[in-house]
A = this chain, B = another copy of it.
Amino acid sequence: MIKPRIVIKLSGSLFNFDTNSVQLNDYIQLIKKISNVYQPVIITGGGKIARFYINLSRSLGMDESGLDLIGIQVSHLNARLLISGLRENCYPLPPRNLEEISVALLSGLVIITGGIYPGQSTNATSALIAERIGATKFYNATDVDGIYDSDPRANPAANKYDKINVQDCVSILKSEKSMAGTYDLMDLISLKVIERSNLPTVVFKSTVDNIEKLVLDNVKMGTEITI
């Protein structure tokens, strides 16, 4: 009777000073559709508005972990945009920590939240949430279309992995040259969490279509991280 739970991390780039309601509405309608089959927890990044507040605060003298807290708050504002459109279909607030998430889950509704812990990327937070709720899969929607053996922006001959073992992924992440390119995809905490919990994960380019194909139509896409 309880629907399987999944975690979908939405790229922060969805949230910007020129984001409009049509774009967001496409995501909202898809989330409603997904919620017929799964109970999804959606994590929104902070995006450009977060960077605006963070840069301004940093230049005024705020410490780095204080900046993390500011970024988290912007990601929660972004979460409220999706809540605005999902209304009765979602929990009415973005939960603020893992314990609130596990209580919110009892409602059976879609959960929308943002970052929750300073010092952690929303990727890492999403993986922790996936652990906590026993998610059957972690969908990491990003700005690139998967994990490459070297930075695809620097190296046109870079090869995308269809599948990659979590430990190989750690190795790539640790090799100096690819760090810049993959950092935004998966960081070491996310990978540690994926590994310790055997969490099936896929990294792919964030579009409404791609999410729908992956989550609902089971199409292969992006890079699957295996254990």
Task: State the A residues within 8 Å of B (CB).
Answer: 2, 17, 19-21, 24-25, 28, 49, 52-53, 56-66, 68-70, 73-74, 76-77, 80-81, 83-85, 87-88, 91-93, 98-99, 102-103, 105-107, 109, 117-120, 124-125, 127-129, 131-132, 134, 174, 188-189, 193, 196-197
Contacts and interface: CB of A to CB of B under 8 A. Distances in A.
Contacts of A88: 2
5 contacts: A56-B84, A106-B107, A117-B117, A117-B118, A119-B193
Pick the most buried of A28, A63, A106: most chain B CB atoms within 10 A of its CB.
A63
As for how many copies of this chain the complex holds, the number is 6
A102 B98 contact: no
**Majority SS of interface residues in chain A?**
helix
Contacts of A196: 64
B119 A189 contact: yes
Given A117-B117, A131-B64, A174-B174, A76 B77 contact: no
Nearest to A130: B65
